[in-house]
Amino acid sequence: MGGVDYYDSLCLESAVPHYSARIYVTLRPSVLDPAGTAVQSGLAHMGYSNVGPVRIGKYIELTLDADSEATASQQLDRMCDQLLANPVIENYRFELQTLATA
């Protein structure tokens, strides 16, 4: 209330566009998912026998500055390949949205 939040201060500091990214990381279909199996078993023991196979993944949100959406997308690809996902056993996808500027 009445203050400037982080995203507003980013927009006031530069003319470089700011982006919000939602990143979804999931195991490749060929990789076994013991955590998913445990969740499915737990749900069955709770009486939810109608639940099929469960796969567990990661959800990541971040903001970044980039000159263009294409540049932001390229940076996100590198981030995912190098740190956020293990490309040997995981797939990823992301949604990129431009944040409103002041």
pLDDT tens for residues 49-95? 999 999 999 999 999 999 999 999 999 999 999 999 999 999 999 99
CA-to-CA dists, residue 37 to 30, 41, 44, 45, 55, angstroms: 14, 6, 11, 12, 8
Tokens standing for residue 77 = 């690809």
Q: What is the largest CA-CA distance in the chain?
A: 55
pLDDT tens for residues 19-30? 999 999 999 999
List CB contacts of 36: < 8 A, sequence separation 6 or more: 53, 54, 55, 56
Query: Following DSSP, what letter does each residue of 37-64 receive, concatenated?
Result: HHHHHHHHHTT-TT------EEEEEEEE
Q: Which residue has the tokens 């955590």?
A: 35
Find out whether 61 and 7 touch, Cβ atoms under 8 Å: no
Asked whether the predicted pLDDT for residue 9 surpasses 70, the reply is no
Query: Global pTM?
Result: 0.80
